[in-house]
């Protein structure tokens, strides 16, 4: 079989690259050893959002009287919630199959390994092999849950995100190690379901990549819902011999504490799937397990490219998709604009949600900017109060000299839907005054963006 392009992996980088390539007239095939859509659609982004929605609905039910509605006897059906999540994932994976058929993309099931410059050997589940030839090859094999030596995962008592999505029964207690997006989302979900949750973070703040004020606000929200948050702390060892896992945790004072839990969820990052795919045999350069590429995602071997979680850029689905599109447009002879990695939005789907783009206040100061900071709390928003969702705020950071929007940081209801406005504003080099003068509809949560900009310039009306 000969193709213009073969993509190894069908996650949000791989399947998007394949579809764009087909649109550009390339004969395209995708090699996939598991479900179409990769980790994101099947074991990450999509099913976790289904769980978050169920947790949110449960929270609504618990507080219906605050809205003047009485509901009695409502309980969480954990098995039903997990089943719904799997159903959503299956539907989305089926959607990728439809898109491939629509765009005349061949799917080759099996494990792909680079054999030579233009050949990938595919081994199926019956150990049968076939060689697939292509003028161009894109590696989009994604990543998996990272394991630490002192936190070995057994898939039952010590688990990664994949097992956390499909537990057979609701645990009474859980210790979550790592408070990035994955750790924080699962901590929120299981606490919402009624588990006693302890969240352990090695760094001084949870969600450590976010602006410090956002991190502290989320920490307060977590503590309010009963999550025990331990920062500047580390899990030193685990004893899984009993019914409960015994974890030795070093706290911020350097003292050892023993914590017991039914389940320990290790959410300490991801590891790229770059082993045993032929990189060494072809001399493809890597660094710390990730593939080195140029600005157009080509490796040091001509005709072989890499995108998504296997390279050094941010491990986000929307980043992988953008890289896939740029890569195939370059292959097709177009001259796409380079991706601006300083303008990538990040979202965490806890409740309250977290969303951000650009520099934190601390980073802007470290870069030497003289800044103006505007902050507007949702407690002053009419729409937020009417919705019963007045936790959080919008925080905007501007360059005082030129009015450039350096960063935007939000925590609150639906902020993951609001962040795109600020991404677009930064893309168009919009100034603070232009945001203020852009009339926002009332009443909406998005008014807080305009008000935060106004606050930075001492023009705010509603606080």
Q: Which residues contact 293 (CB under 8 A, 6 or more apart)?
A: 299, 305, 306, 307, 311
User: What CA–CA distance (Å, rounded) separates 349 from 49?
Assistant: 7
Catalytic residue from among 259, 409, 442, 462: 442
| 296 a catalytic residue | no
First to last CA, the chain: 66
Q: Is 242 annotated as a binding residue?
A: no
Q: Is residue 419 annotated as involved in ligand binding?
A: no
According to the annotation, is 49 in a ligand binding site? yes
Q: Which residues of 172-203 are buried (b: 16+ CB within 10 A; e: fewer)?
A: ebbbbbbbbbbbbbbbbbbbbbebbbbbbbbe
Residue 173, annotated as binding a ligand: no
- Of the candidates 346, 411, 400, 320, the residue with the CA atom closest to the CA atom of residue 37: 320
Residue indicated by tokens 């795109």: 420
Question: Has 309 been labeled as part of a binding site?
Answer: yes
The verdict on whether residue 180 carries a ligand-binding annotation is yes
Integer-rounded Cα Rg, in Å, for the chain is 24
Contacts of 272 (CB under 8 A, 6+ apart): 141, 142, 143, 289, 290, 291, 309, 310
Contact 246, 239 (CB under 8 A): yes
463 is in an annotated binding site: no
Q: Are strands 270-272 and 173-177 parallel, antiparallel or unpaired?
A: unpaired
Torsion of CA 395, 352, 88, 198, to 10 degrees: 120
CA 153/CA 149 separation, integer angstroms: 9
E strands in 311-417: 346-348, 353-358, 371-377, 393-399, 405-412
Rounded to whole angstroms, the Cα distance separating 228 from 205 reads 13
Tell whether 44 is in a known binding site.
no
Residue 38 parent element (H or E): helix 38-43
Do 4 and 135 meet the contact criterion of CB atoms below 8 Å apart? yes
182 carries a ligand binding annotation: yes
Q: What value, to the nearest 5°, has the Cα angle with vertex 174 and ends 168 and 178?
A: 115
- Burial class of 310 by CB neighbour count within 10 A (0 to 12, 13 to 18, 19+): buried
Question: Do the annotations mark residue 112 as ligand-binding?
Answer: yes
Q: For residue 177, which of 239, 222, 256, 236 has the smallest C-alpha distance?
A: 236
Helix residue ranges, H only, 122-198: 161-164, 181-192
Whether 118 has a binding-site annotation, put simply, is no
Q: Where in the sequence numbering do the catalytic residues fall?
A: 442
* Binding positions for FAD: 49, 112, 309
* Binding positions: 49, 112, 178-185, 201, 269, 309
* Binding positions for NAD(+): 178-185, 201, 269
């Amino acid at each position: 079989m000969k193709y213009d392009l073969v993509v190894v992996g069908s996650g949000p980088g791989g399947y998007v690259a394949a579809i764009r390539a087909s649109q550009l007239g390339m004969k395209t095939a995708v090699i996939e050893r598991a479900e179409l859509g990769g980790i994101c659609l099947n074991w990450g982004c999509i099913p976790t959002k289904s769980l978050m929605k169920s947790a949110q609905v449960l929270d609504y039910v618990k507080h219906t009287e605050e809205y003047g509605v009485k509901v009695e006897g409502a309980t969480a059906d954990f098995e039903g919630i997990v089943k719904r999540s799997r159903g959503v994932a299956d539907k989305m994976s089926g959607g990728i199959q439809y898109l491939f058929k629509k765009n005349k993309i061949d799917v080759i099931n099996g494990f792909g390994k680079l054999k030579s410059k233009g050949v990938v050997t595919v081994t199926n589940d019956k150990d049968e092999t076939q060689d697939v030839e292509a003028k161009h090859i894109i590696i989009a094999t994604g990543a998996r849950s990272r394991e630490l030596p002192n936190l070995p995962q057994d898939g039952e008592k010590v688990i990664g995100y994949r097992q956390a999505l499909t537990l057979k029964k609701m645990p009474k207690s859980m210790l979550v190690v790592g408070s990035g997006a994955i750790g924080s989302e699962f901590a929120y979900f299981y606490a919402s379901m009624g588990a006693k949750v302890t969240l352990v973070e090695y760094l001084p703040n949870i969600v450590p990549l976010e602006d410090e004020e956002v991190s502290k606000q989320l920490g307060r929200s977590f503590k309010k819902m009963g999550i025990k948050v331990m920062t500047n702390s580390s899990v030193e060892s685990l004893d899984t011999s009993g019914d409960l896992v015994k974890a030795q945790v070093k706290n911020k004072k350097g003292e050892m504490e023993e914590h017991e839990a039914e389940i320990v969820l290790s959410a300490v990052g991801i590891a790229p799937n770059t082993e045993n795919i032929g990189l060494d045999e072809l001399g493809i350069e890597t660094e710390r397990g990730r593939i080195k590429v140029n600005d157009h995602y080509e490796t040091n071997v001509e005709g072989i490219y890499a995108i998504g979680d296997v390279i050094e850029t941010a491990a986000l689905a929307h980043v992988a998709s953008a890289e896939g599109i740029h890569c195939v447009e370059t292959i097709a002879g177009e001259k796409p604009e380079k991706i601006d990695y300083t303008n990538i939005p990040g979202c965490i789907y806890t409740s309250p949600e977290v969303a951000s783009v650009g520099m934190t206040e601390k980073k802007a100061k470290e870069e030497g900017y003289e800044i103006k900071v505007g902050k507007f709390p949702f407690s002053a928003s009419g729409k937020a109060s009417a919705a019963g969702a007045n936790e959080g705020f919008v925080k905007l950071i501007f360059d005082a000299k030129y009015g450039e929007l350096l960063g935007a940081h939000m925590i609150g209801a639906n902020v993951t839907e609001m962040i795109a406005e600020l991404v677009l504003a930064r893309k168009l080099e919009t100034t603070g005054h232009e945001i203020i003068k852009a009339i926002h509809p009332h009443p909406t949560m998005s008014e807080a963006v305009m008000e935060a900009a106004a606050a930075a310039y001492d023009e705010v009306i509603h606080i």
